[in-house]
Amino acid sequence: MTDRHLRALPDLPTPPAPDPSYARMAAHEFLRKPRIRDYPYGPCFDLLEDTIGHHVRRGGDPWRWMPSDADHVLGRSLEEPPMNAPDQLRLLPDLLGDFIEFAHRDDVPVEQTRETLGTIDRLRPEFLRLIGADGWQTPAMRWAYAEPTHPLQDLADLVGDLTALEHLDTTPLPDEPFGWTEVPGTLVPVFEDLVPLLDSCADQWLTVEHRTAMRRLAATVARRDPRPLRRGPLLRRAAAIAWIVLRANDDLGPGRQRLMTAKDLSARFGLRSEVSSPARSMLRAAGGSQCWSAEFGDRVRVGDARLLTARRRERIVTERDRRAPTFIGEDAPASFLDPFKKTH
C-alpha cells in the first residue's frame, strides 16, 4: 500500500530553538482573556513573561508544565527576583496557577494539571512567607527545591528516572504480540486498523525492535490519553507514532547513522504534509516531551526505556558511564552519589 503512494516530499522542519518571544505571546494571550481574577495587565505581564521566559530557556514548553517546573520557577523568582514590588510578586502563585490551567486546557492530561496546581498550592504559604510583609530583608533567601537537578538528569529523562538510568540494560527489545488487553474496548476498532500499518512500516523499513516500541507507544497513548488516536486520518496517526519512536531513538533525520529522513517517513505513509504537529500531540499524550538545549539540540524524550532500542540504550549507557566518574567519589556531594553509589 505504501509503495503505491511513494513520492518525493519536502523534509519535515526541525523544531527551532526556544524563542524568547514565545513567553511574550503566551503571557499576552493569557492576560487578554477574561479571567476570574482581575490581574493588572502591566506588572503582571512583566512578571508572567519573565516566569514563562525562564521556563522556555530551560528547554520547557510554555504550554506544558510539570510539578517540578512550577517548583523551579517559584524558587528562582525568590533567588533571582524580577523587578517587581513584593506586593506584585505575591500574585505569582495565583498568576502561575491560572496560566497553567489556561495553557493545559487542550492537550495535557487532567491528572498532570491537577498535580502541577497541587504543587503550587503546597508551596504558596512558604513562598508568601519568604517574601514577607515588607519585602526582602536579606538577599540570601534560599528555596528548598523539591526536585534538585542531578548531573545526569538529562539522560534520566530519556529513560524515565535516575533509577531506570542506573539499571539500564542493552538487551534488544523482544518480538512480542500486541497487548490487546491494554486497549479500551471503544478503541479496539481503531487499533485493528492502526496496528497493521505500524507493523507494515517496521517489517519493510525498520526492525523488530521498532515494531515492538511502536506497539508499546500506541498502547501507552490509549491508556493515558487516547484523544490523539481518534483525531485525523489513520495514516497520519500511524506516521505520528512512527515519528516519535524514530526520533526518540535518534533514527530519524539526515546522516548515515540514521535509518531514514523525515521525508522518507512521510512518503512511506503516503502523506503529502508533515506529521510533526500530530506527533507532538501524541507525544504529550504518552507523557513524553520535546526539549532543546545548546549542548544536545532538539530531543524527543519518551521517558520509558521500554520504547528504546538496544542501540539507543547502548549510547545512553556509554554517555552515563563517561560522565558519572566526574562526580562520583569519596568527596562528592551526597546528592551526587545517589543512585550511583560508590562500591568497595
Q: Per-residue pLDDT tens for 107-128?
A: 778 888 888 998 888 888 888 8
8 Å CB contact between 277 and 13: no
8 Å CB contact between 102 and 63: no
Q: Is residue 9 a part of any domain in this protein? A: no
Range of the domain at 198: 173-308
Same domain, 289 and 249: yes
Q: Which of 43, 126, 39, 49 is nearest to 85 (CA)?
A: 43
What pairs with residue 291 in β-bridges? 299
8 Å CB contact between 308 and 150: no
Query: How does residue 192 score in pLDDT terms, banded at 50, 70 and 90?
Result: very high
Same domain, 34 and 138: yes
Same domain, 177 and 301: yes
pLDDT beyond 50 at 26: yes
Same domain, 177 and 304: yes
Same domain, 124 and 239: no
Q: Which of 52, 67, 76, 75 is nearest to 119 (CA)?
A: 67
8 Å CB contact between 218 and 241: yes
Confidence (pLDDT) at 307: 94
DSSP code at position 252: B
Q: Check residues 14 and 237 and name the one with the higher pLDDT.
A: 237
Q: Is residue 252 a part of any domain in this protein? A: yes
Q: Is residue 154 a part of any domain in this protein? A: no
Q: What whole-number percentage of the chain has pLDDT above 90?
A: 20
Same domain, 115 and 202: no
Among the candidates 131, 147, 163, a domain finishes at 147
Query: How does residue 194 score in pLDDT terms, banded at 50, 70 and 90?
Result: very high
d(CA 192, CA 19): 41
Confidence (pLDDT) at 212: 95
Confidence (pLDDT) at 85: 53
8 Å CB contact between 70 and 96: yes
Q: Is residue 3 a part of any domain in this protein? A: no
d(CA 41, CA 47): 10
d(CA 93, CA 197): 46
pLDDT tens profile 200-235: 999 988 999 999 999 999 999 998 888 888 888 899
Same domain, 39 and 117: yes
pLDDT tens profile 140-169: 333 444 444 677 877 888 888 888 888 899
Position 137: which residue type? Q
Count structural domains, the chain: 2
Cis link prior to 339 (omega < 30° from 0)? yes
Same domain, 271 and 213: yes
Same domain, 130 and 238: no
Query: How does residue 82 score in pLDDT terms, banded at 50, 70 and 90?
Result: low
What pairs with residue 300 in β-bridges? 290
Query: How does residue 193 score in pLDDT terms, banded at 50, 70 and 90?
Result: very high
Query: How does residue 4 score in pLDDT terms, banded at 50, 70 and 90?
Result: very low
Q: Which of 43, 12, 8, 3 is nearest to 277 (CA)?
A: 12
Confidence (pLDDT) at 46: 82
Confidence (pLDDT) at 23: 80
Residue recorded with cell 527489545: 173
Q: Is residue 105 a part of any domain in this protein? A: yes
| Count of C-beta atoms within a 10 Å radius of residue 332 | 14
Confidence (pLDDT) at 132: 66
d(CA 276, CA 280): 6
Same domain, 82 and 128: yes
Q: Is residue 302 a part of any domain in this protein? A: yes
Query: How does residue 66 score in pLDDT terms, banded at 50, 70 and 90?
Result: confident
- Counting other chains too, the contacts that 125-132 makes at CB distance below 8 Å and 24 or more residues apart are 127/74, 127/78, 127/92, 127/93, 128/90, 128/93, 130/78, 131/78, 131/86, 131/89, 131/90, 132/86
Name the grid cell of 329: 567519589
Confidence (pLDDT) at 27: 84
DSSP code at position 232: S
Same domain, 194 and 287: yes
Query: How does residue 62 score in pLDDT terms, banded at 50, 70 and 90?
Result: confident
Among the candidates 147, 181, 207, a domain finishes at 147
Same domain, 29 and 104: yes
pLDDT beyond 50 at 343: no
Average pLDDT, the chain: 76
Q: Is residue 58 a part of any domain in this protein? A: yes
Among the candidates 147, 162, 189, a domain finishes at 147
Give 139: exposed, middle or buried? Use CB within 10 Å, 0-12, 13-18, 19+.
exposed
Q: Is residue 205 a part of any domain in this protein? A: yes
Q: Check residues 309 and 330 and name the one with the higher pLDDT.
A: 309
Residue count of the chain, please give it: 344
Q: Which of 31-45, 265-279, 287-301 has the highest mean pLDDT?
A: 265-279
Q: Check residues 24 and 78 and name the one with the higher pLDDT.
A: 24
